[in-house]
Amino acid sequence: MKEDLIKIGYQFSPVGTIYFGGGTPSLMPIHTLEKIINYINLEFETYKDIEITIEANPESINLTYLKNLKSIGINRISIGIQSFNIFGLRIMGRIHNPTDILQNIKIIQKCFDNYNLDFILLYPYQTIQSLKNDLKTIISITPPHLSFYMMDIDKKNLYPTTLINKIKKLHEQADKYYNLIIDQLSKTYEHYEISNFAINKLYCKHNIKYWYYGDYIGLGPSAVSKITINQNAYRIQNLPNNKKYTEKIDTNKQIEEKIMLGLRTKWGIIINNQQIKLNSFSNYNIQVLEILEKSRQTSEKFYI
């Protein structure tokens, strides 16, 4: 891929992050992960403080495995906790339990200073009280980074109609759950992006690249890349059957994507040397739509 991109005029910048995600990359053997990291270090210029993250499920890690990850250069791990509630875990189809999670977090803390815990919101039958309990546990552990994502409702969802209706009902109360998280975590965590919280400025560097419309290269089936050549942005996607297609992103689409992604962060965006950021993430959709509409009605050039 490197040679192909160079041929079409792409100029590589130093690699600042590597992210092993999608599916369960922790199932890959250590030697395979090591080969990938070594190849990147050999073929590309990399920053000295490069962030290398791997996603994992709680049940797939142990002390030996974590030490091996660290020995090959991985310095950040993201764990799909989803919830500390046993009922919630089972209804989401997770096989781990709260006791295992807490034990594994202690193991992670022995090996990594920088790690993330992922949580799912608005799963069927979740209550405000169960969320409060999760937040109490989170604060007692104080992980350096947290991510909260709402459960999706789409055609691929395998839940029966009764549970999908429960999720839809909970989505109507999304602000109530979201504001509770902000209220409970605000004294300890910096809310630097809509779904993300950090302490000691341990932001996810890799995701910041997405939010600020930076270039990235995705490898593997269905992986997406976004590259910029001569100020034109292109999106490249690997299809499941390994065929590729390239889509040039038109200028208006680029502007809309920059606004949408940049406003997810606490720093906002710069339009014509003026900083624009949201007063609150709670009404993100409404504010973003207003700014998008304003951008469509002006011929002013967009800078970020």
Task: Give the mean pLDDT of 162-177.
Answer: 85
CA-to-CA distance for 173 and 188, rounded, in angstroms?
25
The 10 Å Cβ neighbour count of residue 177 is 18
Three-state secondary-structure class, residue 209 = helix
**Residues 63/110, Cβ–Cβ less than 8 Å:** yes
Beta-ladder partners of 234: 227, 248
49 & 131 share domain: yes
176 & 271 share domain: no
Cα–Cα nearest to 170, from 117, 209, 131: 131
CA-to-CA distance for 2 and 183, rounded, in angstroms?
46
Structure-token pair, residue 186: 């605000």
Task: Give the mean pLDDT of 35-59.
Answer: 95
Instruction: Give the pLDDT band (50/70/90) at residue 245.
Output: very low
Among residues 175, 208, 241, the one where a domain terminates is 208
Please indicate, yes or no, if residue 128 is contained in any of the structural domains: yes
Instruction: Give the pLDDT band (50/70/90) at residue 158.
Output: low
Please indicate, yes or no, if residue 95 is contained in any of the structural domains: yes
143 & 271 share domain: no
Instruction: Give the pLDDT band (50/70/90) at residue 138.
Output: very high
Please indicate, yes or no, if residue 246 is contained in any of the structural domains: no
- Full residue range of the structural domain in which residue 293 is found: 252-304
174 & 278 share domain: no
Domain CATH number, residue 109: 3.30.750.200
CA atoms lying within 13 Å on the CB side of residue 214:
17
- For 226-286, give the DSSP string: EEEETTEEEEEEE-TTS-EEEEEEPHHHHHHHHHHHHTTBTT-EEETTEEE--S-STTHHH
pLDDT of residue 142: 97
Give the amino acid at 208.
I
Contacts of 165 (CB under 8 A, 6+ apart): none
Residue 166 has pLDDT above 50, yes or no: yes
pLDDT digits (tens, 9 = 90+) for 102-128: 999 999 999 999 999 999 999 888 999
Query: Which of 267-276 are b and which e, b meaning 16 or more Cβ less than 10 Å from the residue's Cβ?
Result: ebbebeeeee
Helical (H) or strand (E) element with 89: helix 86-91
| Stronger pLDDT, 248 or 102, i.e. the higher one | 102
pLDDT of residue 228: 93
Give the amino acid at 28.
M
Structure-token pair, residue 56: 């994992």
CA-to-CA distance for 218 and 204, rounded, in angstroms?
17
Among residues 208, 233, 268, the one where a domain terminates is 208
Contacts of 184 (CB under 8 A, 6+ apart): 132, 135, 139
Give the number of domains in the chain. 2
Please indicate, yes or no, if residue 265 is contained in any of the structural domains: yes
Please indicate, yes or no, if residue 238 is contained in any of the structural domains: no
pLDDT of residue 287: 72
pLDDT of residue 246: 54
Instruction: Give the pLDDT band (50/70/90) at residue 7.
Output: confident
Please indicate, yes or no, if residue 7 is contained in any of the structural domains: yes
| Stronger pLDDT, 279 or 46, i.e. the higher one | 46
Among residues 208, 240, 270, the one where a domain terminates is 208
pLDDT of residue 200: 95
269 & 140 share domain: no
Contacts of 164 (CB under 8 A, 6+ apart): 153, 157
Residue 139 has pLDDT above 60, yes or no: yes
Instruction: Give the pLDDT band (50/70/90) at residue 13.
Output: very high
Helical (H) or strand (E) element with 17: strand 15-20
Q: What is the mean pLDDT of the chain?
A: 87
Q: What is the pTM of this model?
A: 0.82
Task: Give the mean pLDDT of 10-14.
Answer: 91
Residue 295 has pLDDT above 60, yes or no: yes
203 & 272 share domain: no
CA atoms lying within 13 Å on the CB side of residue 236:
19
